[in-house]
Structure 1
Amino acid sequence: MKPSAIRNKVVVFGGGTGLSTLLRGLKKHPLELTAVVTVADDGGSSGRLLDQYDIPPPGDVRKVMAALSDVEPLIEELFQYRFTAQDSLDGHSLGNLMLAAMTDITGDFATAIKKMGQVLNIKGEVLPAANERITLHAELEDGTIVTGESKIPMYARKIRRVYLSPQDAEPLPETLRAIREADLIIVGPGSLYTSILPSLLVQDIRDAVLLSAARKVYVGNLTTQKGETYRYTASEHVAALYDHVGEPFLDAVLLNSKDLMPVLTAAGQAVTSWPVECDLDRLAELVPQIVQEDIAFAKDGRVLHDADKVARWFMEDILAEEPCKEEA
Structure 2
Amino acid sequence: MTTLNNNTHLKQIKHLVAIGGGHGLGRVMSSLSFLKGQLTGIVATTDNGGSTGRIRDAHGGIAWGDLRNCLTQIIANPTTASAVFEYRFGGTGELAGHNLGNLILKALEDMNIRPTKAINLIRNFLKVKSFLLPMSDSPVHLGAILPSGEQILGEVAVDSLQQLPDSLFLSPNVPASPEAVNAILQAEVILLGPGSFLTSIMPILLLPEIIQALKVSSAKIIFIDNLGVEHSPSASLSLSDRIQWINKTVGKDIVNGAITPIQIDNEQTSEVKLLVRKLNADDVTYRHDRYLLRSAINDMIAELS
Question: 1:162 aligned to 150, 156, 168, which one?
Answer: 168
CA distance in 2, matches of 1:188, 1:215: 14
1:138-180 CA-to-partner distances (Å, cap 9, x unmatched) read 112333321100111223212221111223x112221121111
Kept after mapping to 1: 8 A contact 2:275/2:300: no
Question: 2:25 aligned to 19, 25, 49, which one?
Answer: 19
Matched, 1:233 2:238: yes
1:78-103 CA-to-partner distances (Å, cap 9, x unmatched) read 21222121011011111101101122
Q: What are the residue-to-residue correspondences of 1:67-106 with 2, within 5 Å? A: 67-69=73-75, 72-106=78-112
TM-score, normalised to structure 2, is 0.89
**Pair member with larger Rg:** 1
Name the residue aligned to 1:251: 256
Name the residue aligned to 2:229: 224
Name the residue aligned to 1:308: 291
Give the helix-richer structure, 1 or 2. Answer: 2
CA distance in 2, matches of 1:6, 1:312: 14
Assess, with a 3 A threshold, how the Cα gap between structure 1 residues 244 and 6 changes in structure 2: closer, same or farther.
Answer: closer
Q: Which runs of 5+ in 1 are unaligned?
A: 258-276, 321-328
CA distance in 2, matches of 1:70, 1:25: 9
Give the strand-richer structure, 1 or 2. Answer: 1
Q: Give the percent of matched residue pairs that are identical in Structure 1 and Structure 2.
A: 27
Name the residue aligned to 1:66: 72
Kept after mapping to 1: 8 A contact 2:143/2:151: yes
Kept after mapping to 2: 8 A contact 1:14/1:199: yes
Name the residue aligned to 1:278: 264
CA RMSD across the alignment:
2.1
CA distance in 2, matches of 1:279, 1:139: 31
Kept after mapping to 2: 8 A contact 1:188/1:220: yes
Matched, 1:142 2:148: yes
4+ runs deviating over 4 angstroms: none
Matched to 2:275, the amino acid is: V
Kept after mapping to 1: 8 A contact 2:30/2:73: yes
Residue 279 of structure 1, CA deviation: 3.7
Paired residues in the alignment total: 293
1:154-209 CA-to-partner distances (Å, cap 9, x unmatched) read 23212221111223x11222112111111100000011110001011111011101
TM-score, normalised to structure 1, is 0.83
Q: Which runs of 5+ in 2 are unaligned?
A: 1-10
Question: 2:204 aligned to 194, 199, 211, which one?
Answer: 199
